[in-house]
């Protein structure tokens, strides 16, 4: 028994374009973000997707709705798929924060360091791991499109032991997708290349 998960980052937003940290705040999809969302649905239309599960944040929900038009499946919301809470960094520009002493630890490493009022990469990775494991248990032998966020995806993959030092912007373009399988017998996630 297995569950196939297509982990996708939402389409480009106004704040992505301006290089502002969103975290659990939100901004609308740009025209390009809408096109990326449509392309995501078109790309996955040959994969027999059974359902879409989305973060509750507006940019992910908007991406899911556009994909739903192509895939013609139900969409559900999973609150634990929200983006990493970046606390007082949310809404601020990347440029303004890039010289902060903990910038690299927070956004390029997998530590328990968090911005003031925010969530650490380790805590975010654990939350996303548990959310995806629950989704897999509720969708045995199904194919699920999961639409959420770049930093949350980075934290999740690091929790699986993947090694990298890039930030989420460098690792995952808007509208990109990463295929993963959950093997129920082994109770483990496996990347699909």
Whichever domain contains 67, its CATH number is 3.40.50.1240
- Which helix (H) or strand (E) is 165 found in, with range? none
SS3 state at 151: helix
Residue tagged active-site, from 78, 83, 119, 151? 83
The predicted pLDDT at position 162 comes to 83
pTM above 0.75, yes or no: yes
The predicted pLDDT at position 147 comes to 98
Q: How many domains does the chain have?
A: 1
Residue ranges in 11-57 assigned as alpha helix (H): 14-18, 31-44
Examine the residue annotation and report whether 83 is marked as an active-site residue of this protein.
yes
The predicted pLDDT at position 70 comes to 95
- For tokens 């496996």, the residue is 190
Examine the residue annotation and report whether 95 is marked as an active-site residue of this protein.
no
The predicted pLDDT at position 84 comes to 97
17 in Cβ contact with 55 (< 8 Å): no
The predicted pLDDT at position 170 comes to 79
The predicted pLDDT at position 116 comes to 95
Residue tagged active-site, from 10, 12, 149, 151? 10
Tell me which residue range forms the domain holding 90. Answer: 2-191
The predicted pLDDT at position 114 comes to 97
The predicted pLDDT at position 22 comes to 96
Per-residue pLDDT tens, the chain, 193 aa: give them: 999 999 999 999 999 999 999 999 999 999 999 999 999 999 999 999 999 999 999 999 999 999 999 999 999 999 999 999 999 999 999 999 999 999 999 999 999 999 999 999 999 999 999 999 999 999 999 999 999 999 999 999 999 988 777 777 778 899 999 999 999 999 999 988 6
Nearest Cα neighbor of 172 from 145, 148, 150 is 150
For residues 162 and 159, give the distance between their C-alpha atoms in angstroms, rounded to a whole number. 7
For residues 189 and 100, give the distance between their C-alpha atoms in angstroms, rounded to a whole number. 34
């Amino acid at each position: 028994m297995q569950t196939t998960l297509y982990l996708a980052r939402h389409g480009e937003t106004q704040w992505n374009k301006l290089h502002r940290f969103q975290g659990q705040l939100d901004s609308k999809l740009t025209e390009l973000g809408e096109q990326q969302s449509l392309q995501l649905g078109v790309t996955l239309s040959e994969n027999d997707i059974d359902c879409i599960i989305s973060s509750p944040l507006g940019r992910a929900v908007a991406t899911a709705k556009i994909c739903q038009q192509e895939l013609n499946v139900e969409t559900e919301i999973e609150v634990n798929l929200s983006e990493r809470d970046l606390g007082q960094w949310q809404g601020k520009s990347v440029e303004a924060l890039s010289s902060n002493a903990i910038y690299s630890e927070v956004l390029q490493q997998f530590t328990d360091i968090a911005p003031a009022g925010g969530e650490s990469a380790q805590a975010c990775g654990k939350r996303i791991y548990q959310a995806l494991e629950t989704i897999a248990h509720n969708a045995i032998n199904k194919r699920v499109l999961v639409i959420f966020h770049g930093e949350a995806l980075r934290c999740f993959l690091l929790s699986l032991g993947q090694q990298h030092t890039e930030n989420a912007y460098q690792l995952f373009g808007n509208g990109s997708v990463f295929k993963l399988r959950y093997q129920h017998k082994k109770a483990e996630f496996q990347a699909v290349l």
